[in-house]
Amino acid sequence: MSGIIRIGVIGYGYWGPNIVRNFNAIDTAQVMMVADGAASALKRVKKEHPQITATNDPNDILCAADIDAVAIVTPVSTHFELAKKALQNGKHVFVEKPFTASVAQAEELIELAEKRHLKIMVDHTFIFTSTVRKIKQLIDEDVLGNIYYYDSIRVNLGLFQHDVNVIWDLAPHDFSIMDFLISEKPVAVQACGKAHVNCKENIAFVTAHFSSNVVGHFNVNWLSPVKVRLTMLGGEKKMLVWNDAVADEKLRVYDKGIKSKSPDGEYDLRVSYRSGDMWAPKIEQTEALKLEADYFTRCILDDETPINDGHSGLRIVRMLEACDQSLKNQGGLVYL
């Protein structure tokens, strides 16, 4: 294989154009072909990228001899069949989140990829953003201290998905960010939600339990009048607020908390508080997807395992599946 990964992209709806643009913008990749069932999508491909072949048949990509890797940018219900065929045909796979529609599918794809010595990368874009990277650094350098909670609000109006509920649509972001940031893994999840418009839940509340006293919680909602992207991360030493809906100063670190324990190792009956400065670290302006596209090609070229590989995708799908089970079970705890 030369130093350029030849990419076929399946799906040119909302996210597909970003995938094409970013793979094309890096030196180690070239988008050869785009497949989409909609004529209007193919027309857009031709106008925006006259040099790329446009087809309505994904098999043109899956079977092409001159394609090294396939980017699957389609609804989750189609991921498994497309990825399986790509792997069977010796192609690496870059696949949208969530990885698959079930744990069983994810496990089968992982096994297949390992057997064929091919890479799977699940597009958990957020873990390539400068903000999440900066949070990771703050945690790794023990600036926050022991983590107490990860509490996220991710709500907006729409877009209702056909094939999945709001948890499968929005919670993969939080599950993958939390998976990236916190080394400890949840032991159980709970979810409750309501379906106001059709039979899929459009509002839901997810709680992730850990064996320590860390707790994760997400509000996800397709019927919110305003777009909120607010994550709070509480630590013993410092706490942070990440507001992803603003242009600047998205990340704020607060020197606030409970005062240190008394000499005998116990907190006083009367809790006292520590309130210091707030600090908004400079965040580099980079396009996460470009970084991720570059990382994907380098993992292939250097034969390295991506952090967001099939196993990472599987962990998230396992939690999503457990959420569905909890939803059916009146919000009861589901162990992982």
Nearer to its own copies by C-beta: 185 or 217? 217
CA separation (Å) from 71 to 25, 120, 155, 278?
A: 15, 10, 27, 41
In the set 70, 82, 203, 291, which binds its own copies (CB under 8 A)?
203
Nearer to its own copies by C-beta: 104 or 157? 157
In the set 80, 148, 168, 242, which binds its own copies (CB under 8 A)?
148
In the set 193, 306, 310, 313, which binds its own copies (CB under 8 A)?
193
- Residues 270-299, one symbol each (x = binds its own copies by CB under 8 A, - = not), give xx-x-xxxxxxxx-----------------
Residues 96/73, Cβ–Cβ less than 8 Å: yes
Label residue 243 exposed, middle or buried (CB < 10 Å: 0-12, 13-18, 19+): middle
Residue 40 contacts its own copies per CB under 8 A: no
CA separation (Å) from 288 to 22, 72, 133, 253?
A: 10, 18, 10, 22
Nearer to its own copies by C-beta: 110 or 233? 233
In the set 43, 46, 227, 328, which binds its own copies (CB under 8 A)?
227
Q: Applying CB under 8 A, which part among 11-19, 83-91, 156-164, 166-174 lies near its own copies?
A: 156-164
DSSP 31: E
Please name the residues in contact with 30: beta carbons below 8 A apart, sequence gap of 6 or more: 4, 5, 6, 7, 23, 24
Residue that the structure tokens 């309501």 belong to: 194
Residue 37 contacts its own copies per CB under 8 A: no
Please name the residues in contact with 329: beta carbons below 8 A apart, sequence gap of 6 or more: none
For residues 60 and 69, give the distance between their C-alpha atoms in angstroms, rounded to a whole number: 13
Q: Applying CB under 8 A, which part among 5-13, 76-84, 99-107, 195-203 lies near its own copies?
A: 195-203
Residues contributing to the site for its own copies (CB under 8 A): 50-51, 148-149, 151, 153, 155, 157-160, 162, 190, 192-198, 203, 205, 207, 209, 213-215, 217, 219, 221, 223-227, 232, 234, 236, 239-241, 245, 247-249, 252, 254-258, 267, 269-271, 273, 275-282, 330-333
